[in-house]
Structure 1
Amino acid sequence: MTPAGIREVAAHAGVSVGTVSNFLNHPDRLSEAMARRVTDAIEAVGFVPSNAARQLRMGVSSVIGYLASDIGNPHFGEIATSVQVRASQLGLSVFIADAQEDPHREDAYLDTFAQHHVRGLLVASHHPVEDRLALLRRRGTPSVLVGQRATSTEQPSVSVDEFSGGRQAIEHLVEVGCRAIAFVGGPAQIVQVAARRAGADAAALAHGVELREVVVAERSVAAGRAAGAIIAGMTPEERPDGVFAVNDLLALGVLQELVGQGIRVPQDVALIGYDDTEFAEASLIPLSSVSRRHRDAGEIVVDALFETMEQRSPAELHRELEPILVVRQSTRGFLRD
């Protein structure tokens, strides 16, 4: 069945197509009685106005896109929620897409957003994406890179100082008494992972502690359990007494495996994650974590995009937020022999 169009509405209401068009685009030009007449006709024929078509005619869209690297990670879900709240306050709607950490899906979604003429883009990527965003910018779609500091002087970005976050995690483990620490994470090609590892390395070197590596291909609970099994399989002499997992999902998997194999957290092994998701706090053993959560994160990134869309330079082209160490039970009760 073909959807009803503007002509069907006009015929049912007994008015001209121009009158219906005015109702959709300039309702203030119609009398109350005429507006009611058109409204009744729209309901009767089941007409659904095309906002996209109207926005193309007017040359402006009220829709922005948010491309998340992995919406299954609670961190990105929290950002999406705060982005929608701030966008709504500015009269904008948000289309959300999940790249699932796949650069090909990421490219496809960027194409889709461009084809639908969104007004701007928020892109949270783990991959080099600035060249692609530059191409979209030249074609008229501005963007803000989220979670990764841009290198271009033309690309606004809002990121977190991941080096500082990695350094804080190791320094905390050293402070509670750890001397042999495992770094659980990967792959190194991920910009944020590499920065956290660099910060961890710097802190370990500064404090003279050993930093071991347990590399995993994914940053998921399942991958964390696999890493936890490796650690649990070591002899007590070989086993690290501290673990820094590059995100909370990994840390929760490590926690499950260690506890399941009779290794006490934090008495035997102190454990810290990264992101400070709600799952970290709600865990049976509340998880210490480096927080990237900022109450005004959605406001910051949406405002930066809004200023760019309005062709104003953001107050800070590359805004970098400082991560915050959150100490909970998974490290607080470590007992060093």
Structure 2
Amino acid sequence: MAGVRIRDVAQHAGVSVGTVSNVLNRPGDVSPDSVERVNRAIEQLGYVRNDAARKLRAGVSTTVGFVVLDGQNPFFTDVVRGAEDEASSHNLAILHGNTDEDVARERMYLDLFEEQQVRGVLISPYGDIHPRLERLRARGIPAVLVDRFSGDGRFSSVSVDSVAGGRMAVEHLIGTGRRRIAFVGGPFDMQQVRDRLAGARVAAENAENAATPVEIEVVATEAPTVEAGVVAGARILARPRGDRPDALFAANDLVALGLLQALVVDGRMLVPDEIAIIGFDDIPFAGAAAVPLSSMRQPSRMIGRTALRILLEETADPNLIPRQTVFLPELVVRRSTAATAAR
């Protein structure tokens, strides 16, 4: 029977609406006879309880909102998967949206999650969203930053030390004999991109006493995508041979794969003989590239799991002091940065 309401069940069973509610939520407080009558009425009428509405009215949602920077990047896909794995063990579901590095879309998803009264929000932010997250917290919806360190400590965060990762990547390139290194990436309003470049410059500064100085130039891209990497690779190939870098540190693996595509398919530069390439994230495609790509590995699924755990702890106790969890990336060396006999 369509549209059966709780009052219909009460009338059919000959009890009050409150008794039906108690049978559904606290059956131990109701006499066995009333429980039997209510359950029989439910079965005969085909009543289906609306758990979502019940939990929303009680202020307890079974969903968590997750806002990511780039849903097409396999790194974020894995982060969300980690959060989903953890959420499922708590009987929760993840609703996620992709901002595509757009402030308006970021705002739209946060508005949606606030309207839906989700249990909490995980977010890899693009713009300055602290005032917006403060509003969510005031309404009882905690938020945890993902892949972004909370510098002021107002919110908990789970991130990777991108400065250390950038330093480690360039130290590796220097160790293979490279000295003219280009950092390829953007846009620079993304904190992760700025941090990785900062780490690269630290590595170059630390190598000042080397026989040959280390140079770091910047080849900016409009987006952290494969297509942007292809464009950057074409720009590098258009330069005179003696003016080209001998190594490329890409802000992420998607840009690095685009660079590989431009250089290897074109065939005018040999990787790694003439130019080395290293990326960041170690997405699954990195090891399967035409020239297997060296990369800085992030524990993507662990990032998602950890963020969800912290969010649930803050849901249970809103007075917890925000904490910052920072993972250290791992250097994964493959053929794209192999040292050559001439070096």
Instruction: Kindly indicate whether structure 1 or structure 2 has the higher relative contact order, using CA contacts under 8 Å at least 6 residues apart.
Output: 2
1:41 to 32, 39, 45: 45
What does residue 5 of structure 2 align with?
6
Separation in 2, partners of 1:16, 1:334 = 85
Separation in 1, partners of 2:52, 2:233 = 50
1:308 aligns with 2:326: no
What does residue 241 of structure 1 align with?
246
Of 293-302 and 265-274, more deviation after overlay is shown by 293-302
Corresponding residue SS for 2:242: coil
In the TM superposition, residue 201 of structure 1 has moved relative to its aligned partner by: 1.2
Separation in 2, partners of 1:286, 1:127 = 34
What does residue 285 of structure 1 align with?
291
Say how many residue pairs are matched.
332
Separation in 2, partners of 1:17, 1:274 = 63
Of 278-287 and 110-119, more deviation after overlay is shown by 278-287
Amino acid at match of 1:252: L
1:259 to 255, 259, 264: 264
What does residue 129 of structure 1 align with?
129
CA contact (8 A) 1:126 1:192 kept: no
Unaligned runs of 5+ in 2: 208-212
Task: Identify if the C-alpha distance between structure 1 residues 51 and 152 changes in structure 2 by more than 3 Å, giving closer, same or farther.
Answer: farther
Separation in 2, partners of 1:27, 1:213 = 67
Separation in 1, partners of 2:88, 2:26 = 22
What does residue 141 of structure 1 align with?
141
Amino acid at match of 2:286: A
Task: Identify if the C-alpha distance between structure 1 residues 278 and 173 changes in structure 2 by more than 3 Å, giving closer, same or farther.
Answer: same
Corresponding residue SS for 1:76: helix
1:175 aligns with 2:180: no
CA contact (8 A) 2:75 2:300 kept: no
CA contact (8 A) 2:10 2:38 kept: no
In the TM superposition, residue 27 of structure 1 has moved relative to its aligned partner by: 6.1
CA contact (8 A) 2:160 2:329 kept: yes
CA contact (8 A) 1:27 1:35 kept: no
CA contact (8 A) 1:276 1:293 kept: no
Separation in 2, partners of 1:35, 1:152 = 54
Corresponding residue SS for 1:237: helix
Q: CA-to-partner distance for each residue in 1:133-169, whole Å, 9 max, x for gaps?
A: 1221122211111111113333111111111011111
In the TM superposition, residue 33 of structure 1 has moved relative to its aligned partner by: 7.6
Separation in 1, partners of 2:191, 2:232 = 21
1:209 aligns with 2:214: yes
What does residue 335 of structure 2 align with?
329
After TM superposition, the score normalised by the length of structure 1 is 0.89
In the TM superposition, residue 128 of structure 1 has moved relative to its aligned partner by: 2.2
What does residue 191 of structure 1 align with?
191
In the TM superposition, residue 24 of structure 1 has moved relative to its aligned partner by: 4.9
Corresponding residue SS for 2:277: strand
After TM superposition, the score normalised by the length of structure 2 is 0.88
Amino acid at match of 2:74: P
Q: CA-to-partner distance for each residue in 1:59-97, whole Å, 9 max, x for gaps?
A: 222221111111111111101111011111123222111
In the TM superposition, residue 307 of structure 1 has moved relative to its aligned partner by: 1.2
1:166 aligns with 2:166: yes
Separation in 2, partners of 1:230, 1:12 = 77
What does residue 67 of structure 1 align with?
67
Of 319-328 and 291-300, more deviation after overlay is shown by 291-300
What does residue 297 of structure 1 align with?
303
In the TM superposition, residue 311 of structure 1 has moved relative to its aligned partner by: 1.3
RMSD over aligned Cα atoms: 2.6
Corresponding residue SS for 1:59: coil
CA contact (8 A) 1:178 1:336 kept: no
In the TM superposition, residue 170 of structure 1 has moved relative to its aligned partner by: 0.7
Give the share of equivalent positions with the same residue, in percent.
39
In the TM superposition, residue 57 of structure 1 has moved relative to its aligned partner by: 2.3
Larger radius of gyration: 2
